[in-house]
């Protein structure tokens, strides 16, 4: 497959224009400047991806700079966590910098501004200063201290530095213009007194520079060429440039440009609000797998590849919008589908006894580890006459659309035999405690016998009771039940906490997992993707549910009444039958970049939920050269089989078999997944 040439985003266009108008490529330098007052979350990954992505594109250095100017909220713990997260995402910074490294230089520059009549010490309260700011339509009012003499300002500033005043007694302000239409230019604060110990400088300072004064000057000191930040800082650009004007001489002059933040549905992005969840014990910590922090996503089983793919798919925009969290879940599902070993686990067990299986006998059956990875090989799983299956996989009486185990009907046990339900045993309350069945000893999967080729409509996963390992399984769901939990002015965001965001159960896994290590990832077949939690110990496995095999949230989520959320386009256009949606997506599938292909796959999967298997039959004979339509058909086939819990018929099997021999790698990949799941 030829390497696709990706179009430039608007920030890359800015860089390219600068390079064509005289900037040397050697002068390019970017930075990611987090404040160490909390853990990085999924929203930060966009800023990380943009800055480090530019560094990779242009082979330019990227600084990691901690804007640590507020000792009241910043801690070394956050510094360490941020470094760990960026490294885990796969990025490397050039220089590790701190704004606190520049405290002396900022102080010296402030002294010079006072001498030049461009800064002064104000002795009013914060409330009074705020009241003098004016409005967007009315000019502000000059401070009565605005015209203090240079000598008095310098003396007061020196005493502030020496700790001779209390917090709030004085501040330093830039002297700009109290009538400027941009209210940020109305004599902004540059310094305040904070008698707090700093995580790096200790008690060396009791005055700390404000963000607007520090940020641009730090960029300048570090020779940053492009200072990239989110849209809320666009009004700050004028002040950013004014401060640079006061110190600019020979260094590279940074250029501030803004991009839209990453906003995610059902997610809180405010570090202040996330801290509240931690402090109030709503979650167990910053790395609680329900949190949107990078450390929490890592603990839950998300991969660096999936997060980077998500950021790439979202792209770089100039306008704010809200991304559906299902896209993030789709990206991790796609990645784990390729990399996670398949194993069997039963989370809601009911005992199944094969009455005609020899007592005391056990077999070790061959099971493929991952159909997406030929190098993954296979493993042996133990089989015996007493098994656990999922309780929902059996009904004593079932309709014609139930294709799992029921009395008098046959199903296949994954990698094993065809069984037939015979009778059940119940307790005094009428609950089924045991299912009894018989098996066909000639129907062993892969044996090549005519009996093994017999077509049955259901396949069940299982574990041998004698060999199964009991494990704690944490079933995670979205932390909030509302798509905009902090978007309601009259309600506290905690009112929308999802009471079912965590369920802890005991599940049973195959014995090969006994040596699994924290963060190891698996697909529990037919159930979803899970990983080993850091709470696991030797002999006591704990698993986290990362994500299900498909998106089920859309079926049950309530309709939002919040008006400020920009609605995402519906997957299915009004009036277009779902099968036509699949065809349309297929026509584009091989002609778009990976980033858009992910969106098309979501459309196909959603459309497939609303069609019957028979509707796909005409597409099985699509011409070989129309690979996109064949791929879309395969994706839809997989979704229908999973969604309805049925086995492929002979026509579907023939379609899959033919696709396995196709030259198109994308089609082969989709076909392998179906073939493995249904013993084709």
Binding residues for L-glutamine: 67, 211
Q: How far is CA 129 from CA 173, 214, 359, 541, in A?
A: 10, 21, 86, 58
C-alpha 599/C-alpha 331 separation (Å) is: 10
The catalytic position among 148, 261, 309, 444 is 261
Residue 96 annotated to the active site: no
Radius of gyration of the chain (CA): 31
CA dist 66 and 453 (Å) reads 63
The yes-or-no answer on residue 412 being catalytic is no
- Sequence ranges of the binding site: 35-37, 67, 211, 261-262, 269-271
Q: Which tokens sit at 106?
A: 């900022």
- The secondary element (H helix, E strand) that includes residue 476 is strand 469-476
3-state helix, strand, coil in the chain (%, to 5): 35, 20, 45
- Of the listed 12, 35, 422, 434, which one is catalytic? 35
**463-464, strands of its sheet edge to edge:** 459-460, 410-413, 418-426, 432-439, 349-354, 386-390, 463-464
Active site residue 271: yes
The DSSP string of 489-520 is: TTS-GGGGB-TTSEEEEEEEE-GGGTT--TT-
d(CA 179, CA 164): 33
Binding residue ranges for ATP: 35-37, 261-262, 269-271
Among 148, 271, 298, 444, the active-site one is: 271
Contact 52, 61 (CB under 8 A): no
Three-state SS at 156: helix
* Of residues 313, 321, 260, the one with CA closest to residue 6: 313
Residue 478 tokens, joined:
């979205």
Q: Name residue, tokens 């296949």.
A: 412
In which element (H, E) is residue 423 found?
strand 418-426
Residue 268 tokens, joined? 């809180």
Distance, in Å, from the CA atom of 594 to the CA atom of 507, rounded to the nearest integer, reads 37
Structure-token pair, residue 541: 């496995």
Residue with tokens 């941020």: 82
Contact between residue 636 and residue 613 where contact means Cβ atoms under 8 Å apart: no
Q: Exposed/middle/buried for 64, CB within 10 Å: 0-12, 13-18, 19+? A: buried
Q: Which residues are catalytic?
A: 35, 261, 271
């Amino acid at each position: 497959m030829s390497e696709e040439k990706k179009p430039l985003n608007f920030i890359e266009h800015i860089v390219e224009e600068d390079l064509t108008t005289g900037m040397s490529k050697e002068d390019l330098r970017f930075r990611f400047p987090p404040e160490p007052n909390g853990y990085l979350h999924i929203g930060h990954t966009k800023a990380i991806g943009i800055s480090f992505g530019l560094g990779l594109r242009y082979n330019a250095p990227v600084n990691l700079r901690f804007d640590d100017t507020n000792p009241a909220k910043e801690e070394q713990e956050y510094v360490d966590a941020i470094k760990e997260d960026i490294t885990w995402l796969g990025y490397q910074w050039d220089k590790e910098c701190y704004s606190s490294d520049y405290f002396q230089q900022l102080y010296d520059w402030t002294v010079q501004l006072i001498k030049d009549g461009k800064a002064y010490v104000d002795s009013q309260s914060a409330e009074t200063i705020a009241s003098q700011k004016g409005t967007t339509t009315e000019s502000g009012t000059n401070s009565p201290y605005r015209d203090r003499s240079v000598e008095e300002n310098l003396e007061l500033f020196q005493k502030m530095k020496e700790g001779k005043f209390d917090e709030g007694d004085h501040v330093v302000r830039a002297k700009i213009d109290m009538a400027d239409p941009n209210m940020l230019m109305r004599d902004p604060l540059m310094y305040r007194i904070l008698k707090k110990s700093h995580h790096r400088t200790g008690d060396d300072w009791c005055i700390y520079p404000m963000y607007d004064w520090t940020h641009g000057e730090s960029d300048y000191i570090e020779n940053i060429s492009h200072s990239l930040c989110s849209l809320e800082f666009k009004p700050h650009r004028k002040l950013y440039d004014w401060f640079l004007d006061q110190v600019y001489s020979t260094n590279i002059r940074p250029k501030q440009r803004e991009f839209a933040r990453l906003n995610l549905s059902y997610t809180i992005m405010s570090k202040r609000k996330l801290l509240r969840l931690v402090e109030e014990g709503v979650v167990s910590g910053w790395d609680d797998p329900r949190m949107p922090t990078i450390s929490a996503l890592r603990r839950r089983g998300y991969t660096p590849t999936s997060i980077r793919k998500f950021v790439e798919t979202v792209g770089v925009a100039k306008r704010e919008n809200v991304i559906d969290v299902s896209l993030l879940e789709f990206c991790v599902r796609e990645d784990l589908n390729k990399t996670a070993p398949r194993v069997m686990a039963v989370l809601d067990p009911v005992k199944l006894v094969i009455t005609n299986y020899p007592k005391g006998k056990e077999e070790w059956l061959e099971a493929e580890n991952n159909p997406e990875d030929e190098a993954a090989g296979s493993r042996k799983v133990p089989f015996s006459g007493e098994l656990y299956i999922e309780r929902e996989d059996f009904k004593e009486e079932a309709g014609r659309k139930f294709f799992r185990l029921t009395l008098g009907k046959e199903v296949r046990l994954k990698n094993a035999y065809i069984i037939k339900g015979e009778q059940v045993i119940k307790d005094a309350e009428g609950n089924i405690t045991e299912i009894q069945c018989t098996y066909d000893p000639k129907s062993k999967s892969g044996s090549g016998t005519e009996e093994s080729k017999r077509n049955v409509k259901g396949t069940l996963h299982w574990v041998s009771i004698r060999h199964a390992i009991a494990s704690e399984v944490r079933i995670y769901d979205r932390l909030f039940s509302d798509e905009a939990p902090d978007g309601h002015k009259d309600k506290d965001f905690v009112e929308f906490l999802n009471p079912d965001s965590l369920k802890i159960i005991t599940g049973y896994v195959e014995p090969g997992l006994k040596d699994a290590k924290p963060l190891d990832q698996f697909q529990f077949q037919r159930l979803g993707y899970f990983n080993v939690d850091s709470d696991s110990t030797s002999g006591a496995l704990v698993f986290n549910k990362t994500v299900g095999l498909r998106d089920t949230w859309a079926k049950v989520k309530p309709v939002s009444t919040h008006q400020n959320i920009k609605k995402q386009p519906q997957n299915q256009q009004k009036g277009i039958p779902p099968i036509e949606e699949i065809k349309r997506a297929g026509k584009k599938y091989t002609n778009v970049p990976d980033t858009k292909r992910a969106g098309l796959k979501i459309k196909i999967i959603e459309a497939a939920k609303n069609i019957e298997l028979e509707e796909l039959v005409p597409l099985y004979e699509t011409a070989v050269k129309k690979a996109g339509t064949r791929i879309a058909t395969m994706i839809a086939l997989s979704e229908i089989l999973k969604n309805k819990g049925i086995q492929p018929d002979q026509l579907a099997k023939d379609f899959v078999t033919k696709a396995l021999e196709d030259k198109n790698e994308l089609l082969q990949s989709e076909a392998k997944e179906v073939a493995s799941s249904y013993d084709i």
